[in-house]
Amino acid sequence: MKTSALAQQTIESLLKENDALCRQLAKLQQRASELIQQRSAEVEQLNAVVEYLSTELTAKDAMILFLRTKLREFRKIPDSPQRMLQNG
Q: Return the domain boundaries, the chain.
A: 2-79
Residue by residue, DSSP assigns 33-86 as HHHHHHHHHHHHHHHHHHHHHHHHHHHHHHHHHHHHHHHHHHHHSPPPHHHHHH
| 87 close to 79: Cβ distance less than 8 angstroms | yes
| Predicted pLDDT at 47 | 98
pLDDT beneath 50, residues of the chain:
none
Predicted local confidence at residue 3, as pLDDT: 83
pTM: 0.58
The whole-number pLDDT of residue 50 equals 98
Quote the pLDDT of residue 77: 85
Residues above pLDDT 70, as percent of the chain: 89
